[in-house]
Structure 1
C-alpha cells in the first residue's frame, strides 16, 4: 500500500503488518510500509504484560541476570546507583543531586531525572546489590515528587532551553522510572506527571503527537511514542497505547519523496539512506536512536498485541542496506553523524546500540542466521553500554555459539550510492572510501547546540579513506576535526579565508533576532534553514553504480544563507560566507579512486586550495613521505610546491600506507606538522583536553582543473606503474568529466550540462552519470540522473549494434546510426541507477 494509506492508520492496526517489498513502478523507488489490517476498532491491551515486558527490558529477569555475562552490567547498575545516592546525600540548596543546580538549566534537570531512573533501575534489577532496597526506591519517589513540585509541574516556569529535554529527554526518564517503582510508590505520582508531560508536548497537538509537526518525525517520533506507550500501560489507557502504536508505525514506511505525507522527509529511503532534521544524513546518530527504539517497542509489545507482522523484516533491511555499508571493521563512518562528529565518543562506541538492536532483532525475524553471523563478524561490543540485560544474554549466546561462522553483511566488494542523502560508500578488501556531498536537497553540514563548531566544508566532497587493521580512532573521530584545519579536510576545495564560529559571531549558540520577519529564535525554521543545517544551491549531486564500481559527481555551490543574504532577505548583522566554486567527480574502481575537479575558483578575488588528503597520526608514529617528480627525480617533503607524479604516505608504526597518483602536472604541496589543540575547539561541551597529532596534508593551490587518484595500501613500485596506466582522463571541464580504466574495460563519466555531450567514445544526453563496461562480448551499462529532475537519461554506445540480454524495468535499447542507444526512464527514480546488459 502507499504511504498515503499508511498514514491514515487507525489505532493499533498500524503496527501489526507490513507489506512485503514490491518492485517499484517503472519510474519510482521501492516503497514498503505498514498496512491497515482488520477493522477500525482499537485493540484491548494487556497492560500488565506490557509493563512486565518493559521492566524486563530495562532491569532483566532472574534467569537472564544469573548469567555470568550479565554480571558486569549488574555491577555497573549498582555502582552508578550508589554514586547517585551519595550525590543526593551531598546536595545543597536548590539541588536534588550535588553539582546539579536547578531552576534555569534544562540539561541539569534532565540529568536529575536520569539519576533517579538509575537508582530505580538498581532497585528492580534481579541480582543487583540494591535489588529490593525499599529505602532507595522511596528516595526516588520522593525525588520525583520534589522535582515535580518545584521544577516541572509549573508550566509557566518550565520549558526553557532545548525543547528536546522537555518533550523527549525528561519524559523518557520519568516514564521508565515510574514503571520501575512499585505501585504503592508511583500511584500518586503517575497522573500528575502524565498530565505535565502532555502539557510539555508543545510541539504536538492537544497534548499528543502531531504527525504534521516538524518536530514529530523519525527518531524523535519513535522516542515520543515509545514513552506514550509506557505511560498508557501505567494508567491502563487503551486509547493512549493504541494511538502511540499507530503513530510509531509510520516510521516504518519508506519515504516517498514524490508523495510526502505531512511534509515529512525524515526516515529511511529506498536506497538505504536515512535523514533526520529534514535534510541531514544521519544514519550514524539519529538513525541509531530510531533503530534501538523500534526494536525495543517490538520487545515491549510481545504478547501484548496480536503480533508484529512483517515489521522485523523492514528493520532487517535497514540494517543490511542502511547500516552495514557504513560500518567498517566496527567503526561507524563520519559521513552520517551530523554534529555528532564533534563528540568524544568514538565510531566504535557508536556501534554498541546497533549491535544490541541486531541481537534483539534475531528474536523476531524468521531467518536470523545472517544477523547472527554479522554479530560474530563485528568486533566484540561493550555490553555494559547495552540498555537491556536480556540483550547482553542474547548477544553472548550468539558470540559463544561455535556453530555460527563470522560473516559480513557486506560483500567483499561493494559500491553504494546513497543518493537520497548525498553520500557514497565504496568498499574493497583492505579499505573503505566514504564521500559526503550536498545539494539543494541535502545540507552541507550540521551545526547545533555548540556542537560541530567549524563544519563549513564537511559536505563539499569531504572524503574519508579507512584502511584495514587500523585503529580508526587514531585516524578519524573527534581528534581528526580537532587537529586538522576545517579548511583542509580531505577532498575539500575551500577559499583562502578565516571564518568565525557561531558563538564567536553572535556571543551565543545561535543567531538571535526575533523581531526580524523570519523570526530567528533558537529552534525556529529560519534558524534551521540558515544556521543549523543549510542546504546547497546545486541540483547536481549523485551518481551511478555498476556492480561493485561507482561514479559520483557534484557541482559545488554556495549555501542558501549566502544567497539569501545577497538578496536582502536576512538581517544586516547576519554573517554568511561565500563558497569556492568547483565541479567534481569521483570514479571508484578496485585499486584506486580517481578524483577530477574542474572550473575551480576562489570567487571574489580569493585564492583557493584543494586538499588531496589530510591524515593524523600519533606524534611517536614512524610516518614517512616519499614521492617522484614528473622529471623522474625523487622527492622529499620541504620547500615549495612541486609537480609530482606520485606521492606516498606511510605509517610504519601502524603498517599502513596510501598513494597519490597525479594525472596532471599541477604543483603539489605536502608535509607534516605537529598540531596541538583542545577538543573544545569543535564542541563547547567537550572537555578542555589538549590533543597533539602529527598532521599530514597534501594540497593543490589555484584555479582551473586538477586530476589525481587515491591508491590505498600502495607500494612505491605500484605507484610508479601508473605512469603506464591503467587510468586515463578522457575529459575534465565544467561540462564533462570522464575517465577510462583500461584494465577493467570501464568508461565512466558525469555530464553536467544539458544536451548531447561526448565523453570519450560515449555520447551522453546530460545531465547524467554513466558507467559502461566492456568484457568480451558483453557490454554493461549503468545510468542515473544526479539532478533527480529529468524524465529520462540516455547514452549512445558506439560500434556495431548490440542486443539486450537483460535490463531493468524502465530501460529501452534500440539501434541508432553509429551505435546503440540505451535510455532509462528516470522520472521519480530519485537518483536510482538503471542498468542493462547488452551482447
Structure 2
C-alpha cells in the first residue's frame, strides 16, 4: 500500500498496446484432477510452474518494443532502473545502499525502499526491450545489493526498526519479487539465505484481513522460491482465513462492508490490498496441487468495490487515513484496485468471467484521469489493452444503485451522471483513523459528511485535503471551534444510530443520530435519496457549550471561474463573504443546484486557501512534501446560532442540474418534506410515489405509523407496494409498522416480515441479528 506511484500515460496509449499476455470464513478450494484430466505434474514441476507464472506477472515477451504504448513503459522501467542504479552506494565500506534510505534516519522505510529499488533494478535488467536489459554489471550490482541488505540489515541479529509493516510485508514482498525475476541467476545458497531472512520476519501468515492476506502472499512466495511444499501450504492456508465473510472484526461482510483495525471502513486501501495480495498468490499456484478458487473475490468486487469506484476514483469516504497521502489519492487508489482485479481474471470461475470482464472494462473506459494504469508493468498493461480491444466483451455501462453499507456506516447513491457518498460513525464505527502521524485533520470526515461526485472523480483530489478548511466539510453540522492535530481520533459515539434502509437498490432513507466528538452538539440528520435528488434534513440540533453551530451545505474546490447563482443573481464572484437571508435556490457551475423548501439565510464564501501535505501528514516518508499548495473554494452554510436548541434545516441536492432546472424545481419541487422533528424525519418524491422515513422513536409520517425506531422506504405504485425496513441501531428485535392503505396479497415475501393484516397493511419486521440490513416485502394492492 505504500509503494510510490509515478506519473502515467494516456488511455490512448493503453488502447494502442498489443494483445494480452496470459499471464462465517470459507477455506480455499483445492481443485482436484482426475478422470480424463491430464496427469498431475511432479512436485518439482509444480514449483517451476509457480515461479514461471509469478515471474510472468512482471516480465513477459512477444510484444513489439517499438509499439508506442509499450515503448513508454520500457522507458519508465529503464529510467527507474538507471536512477536507482546510478544513486546506489557501491563501495566495499558502504553502510547503506541509498543515502535517503538509512534505518537510523528513515526508519523502517529504509528496508522497504531499498527492496523496492532493487526490484526496479532487477526488472530493468530482465525486461526485453528495456535499455538496460541484460546488462551484466547491473545484474551484479543488483544481486550484490540484495546480498548486502540481507547480511547487514534484514537477517542481522537485531530487532526491526520502527514499523513492523515494512519488515514483514512491504519489504519482503518486493524482495520476493526481485528474487523470482532473477531466479535463474541466483545460486541455491543465496536463495536459502534470502529465504531464511524473510522467514525471520514473516515465518507464517499472521494478523487479520488485509495484513493476513499480505503475509500469506509473502509466505507463498518464499515457499515457491525454495521449492518448499510445507511453506507454500502454510501460505495457502493463511489465505483461506481471508477468503470468506466475517461477522465481526476485520474483513469483508456480506453487505459489502470492509473493516480494518476494528472500527474503520477501509475498502479503499486495506481492502484493495487483499486483492493485491490474492492476485499474484492465486496466479502463482494456479494449475498446481495448491490451486485456489478465487470466486469469492468476484463477490467482493461486486459488493464492496464496484459501488465505490467513480470514474476511476475510489470514493474518499472508504480510504481512511490514506486521504492524507499525496501519492495515494483517489485515482491512484482506483488504479491500484483495478490492477489487482485485472490479475484476478484467470483465477475466477468461467461463469463469473463475463461479468467481471465487463465491469473491469467499464472501470478502464470510465476512468477520467487520462490513464488508469500509469505506473504498471508491461504484463498488466497488455492485459488491460487486450480487454479494452476485445469486442466480445461488452462494457457494463455506468452503475446506478443506491446502497447502504450497514456494517461500516456508509451510504452510496449513484446515478449515471453523479454519485453521492454519505459517511457516518456510531458506537460501532469510529469517526476517523489517525496513526503514524497521518490524517491529522480528519475530524469531521464521518460526521454525516457528503461526498458529491459529478465530474472526473477528482473532486476530492488535486490537493483538496491539505487545502480545504477541515472544520467545514460538506454535509456536516459542527461547532465552530479550533481543534488540535488528531483530536478525537478513534472516537465512537455514545449513540447507536447510523445507517438506513434501501428499496429496490434505487431509493434510500439514511441518517445519523449525531453526538459530536468534543462538543455538546447533538443532531438528527437524514438523507432521502431519490431518482433526481437527495433531500437533506436536520432536526433537534442542540448544543449547550456556548459555541456557534453551522451546517455546511457545500465546500467545493473550484477549477476556475465557476459562477454561484443565488435566486438567479450571481454572488461572491470574487474572493469574499456574503449572506443571503431568503435563499430559495443556488447553483454552482459544474456541480448542480441546491433548493431550500423554506427560504433560508445562507452564508457564502469564496476564498483561496494554502496548505501543505505535511500539515495533515507528518509521516517521515512524506517529510519532503512541504511545498505550498493554493486552491480556491466556494463554501455555503446555514448558521444555527450560539447554543441552539432544537434548530433545524432542510435542503435538496440536485446534482448536475442546470440553473434553469434548479429554478424550475424551486418553483415546482418534485419532493415534499413530510416531517422534520426530533421524532420523525421524512420526505416524499412526488413523481415516483416513494416515501422515505427515519423514525427516531415511535411516531407517524404521512400514512406510516411505527411503534419503534427504524428506517422505512415505501414505494407506492398503482398495483403494488414495496416496503423496505431496517434498524440502524443494530439493537432492536422487531419493528411494527402500520401503513394506512390496503394490500390484497403478498407478491414477494420475506421470512423476516410477518403480515399481521392486509387492510390496513400492518407488518411485524424481525430485525434481530440483522446488523442493520434491510428487510423487504412486495405486495399487490
How would you bin the TM-score normalised by the shorter chain? 0.7 to 0.9
Give the Cα separation in 2 of the matches to 1:603 and 1:609: 14
Give the Cα separation in 2 of the matches to 1:536 and 1:278: 15
1:208 has 2:204 as partner: yes
> Could you tell me which residue of structure 2 aligns to residue 339 of structure 1?
321
In structure 2, the CA distance between the partners of 1:186 and 1:78, relative to structure 1 (3 Å rule), is farther
Shift of 1:550: 0.7
Give the Cα separation in 2 of the matches to 1:196 and 1:445: 36
> Could you tell me which residue of structure 2 aligns to residue 664 of structure 1?
598
> Could you tell me which residue of structure 2 aligns to residue 518 of structure 1?
none
Tell me, yes or no, if the aligned pair for 1:546 and 1:782 is still in contact at 8 Å: yes
1:117 has 2:106 as partner: no
> Could you tell me which residue of structure 2 aligns to residue 830 of structure 1?
771
In structure 2, the CA distance between the partners of 1:599 and 1:43, relative to structure 1 (3 Å rule), is farther
Tell me the TM-score normalized by structure 2: 0.87
In structure 2, the CA distance between the partners of 1:716 and 1:102, relative to structure 1 (3 Å rule), is closer
Give the Cα separation in 2 of the matches to 1:72 and 1:305: 38
How do 1:795-834 and structure 2 match up within 5 A?
795-815=737-757, 819-834=760-775
Tell me, yes or no, if the aligned pair for 1:341 and 1:478 is still in contact at 8 Å: no
In structure 2, the CA distance between the partners of 1:746 and 1:712, relative to structure 1 (3 Å rule), is same
How do 1:27-176 and structure 2 match up within 5 A?
46-62=46-62, 69-89=69-89, 94-104=95-105, 105-156=107-158, 158-176=159-177
* 2:242 aligned residue (245, 251, 254): 251
* 1:534 aligned residue (466, 491, 494): 491
In structure 2, the CA distance between the partners of 1:190 and 1:403, relative to structure 1 (3 Å rule), is closer
> Could you tell me which residue of structure 1 aligns to residue 357 of structure 2?
372
SS in 2 for 1:835: strand
In structure 2, the CA distance between the partners of 1:17 and 1:798, relative to structure 1 (3 Å rule), is farther
Tell me, yes or no, if the aligned pair for 1:490 and 1:614 is still in contact at 8 Å: yes
In structure 2, the CA distance between the partners of 1:586 and 1:143, relative to structure 1 (3 Å rule), is same
Tell me, yes or no, if the aligned pair for 2:583 and 2:601 is still in contact at 8 Å: no
SS in 1 for 2:564: strand
Tell me, yes or no, if the aligned pair for 1:155 and 1:200 is still in contact at 8 Å: no
1:552 has 2:510 as partner: yes
> Could you tell me which residue of structure 2 aligns to residue 197 of structure 1?
198
Shift of 1:772: 0.7
> Could you tell me which residue of structure 1 aligns to residue 36 of structure 2?
none
Tell me, yes or no, if the aligned pair for 1:342 and 1:478 is still in contact at 8 Å: no
* 2:259 aligned residue (230, 252, 275): 275
* 2:552 aligned residue (597, 607, 611): 611
Tell me, yes or no, if the aligned pair for 1:64 and 1:390 is still in contact at 8 Å: no
> Could you tell me which residue of structure 1 aligns to residue 425 of structure 2?
438
Shift of 1:699: 0.6
* 2:387 aligned residue (391, 398, 411): 398
In structure 2, the CA distance between the partners of 1:383 and 1:626, relative to structure 1 (3 Å rule), is closer
* 2:564 aligned residue (622, 625, 629): 625
Shift of 1:186: 4.5
Structure 1 unaligned segments of length 5 or more: list them: 19-41, 202-206, 211-215, 258-264, 506-529, 560-576
Give the Cα separation in 1 of the matches to 2:720 and 2:603: 43
Tell me, yes or no, if the aligned pair for 2:671 and 2:683 is still in contact at 8 Å: yes
* 2:308 aligned residue (285, 303, 326): 326
Tell me, yes or no, if the aligned pair for 2:584 and 2:599 is still in contact at 8 Å: no
Give the Cα separation in 2 of the matches to 1:597 and 1:426: 19
Give the Cα separation in 2 of the matches to 1:361 and 1:553: 36
In structure 2, the CA distance between the partners of 1:126 and 1:534, relative to structure 1 (3 Å rule), is farther
Shift of 1:175: 1.9
> Could you tell me which residue of structure 2 aligns to residue 24 of structure 1?
none
SS in 2 for 1:664: strand
In structure 2, the CA distance between the partners of 1:687 and 1:741, relative to structure 1 (3 Å rule), is same
In structure 2, the CA distance between the partners of 1:49 and 1:622, relative to structure 1 (3 Å rule), is same
> Could you tell me which residue of structure 2 aligns to residue 242 of structure 1?
233
Give the Cα separation in 2 of the matches to 1:67 and 1:296: 26
In structure 2, the CA distance between the partners of 1:251 and 1:557, relative to structure 1 (3 Å rule), is same
Tell me, yes or no, if the aligned pair for 2:577 and 2:604 is still in contact at 8 Å: no
Give the Cα separation in 1 of the matches to 2:383 and 2:94: 45
> Could you tell me which residue of structure 2 aligns to residue 707 of structure 1?
650
Shift of 1:586: 0.4
1:690 has 2:704 as partner: no
* 1:479 aligned residue (438, 463, 469): 463
Shift of 1:232: 1.1
Shift of 1:745: 1.3
1:674 has 2:628 as partner: no
SS in 1 for 2:128: coil
Tell me the TM-score normalized by structure 1: 0.81
* 2:298 aligned residue (316, 328, 335): 316
In structure 2, the CA distance between the partners of 1:678 and 1:802, relative to structure 1 (3 Å rule), is same
Deviates more, 1:607-616 or 1:391-400: 391-400
* 2:218 aligned residue (196, 216, 227): 227
Q: CA RMSD in A?
A: 2.7
Tell me, yes or no, if the aligned pair for 2:473 and 2:555 is still in contact at 8 Å: yes
Give the Cα separation in 1 of the matches to 2:628 and 2:722: 52
In structure 2, the CA distance between the partners of 1:600 and 1:168, relative to structure 1 (3 Å rule), is same
SS in 2 for 1:251: coil
Tell me, yes or no, if the aligned pair for 1:370 and 1:409 is still in contact at 8 Å: no
Q: Residue deviations 1:126-145, cap 9 Å, x none?
A: 33333333332222222222
Shift of 1:694: 2.0
SS in 2 for 1:595: strand
Provide the aligned length of Structure 1 versus Structure 2.
725
In structure 2, the CA distance between the partners of 1:742 and 1:185, relative to structure 1 (3 Å rule), is closer
Give the Cα separation in 1 of the matches to 2:535 and 2:238: 46
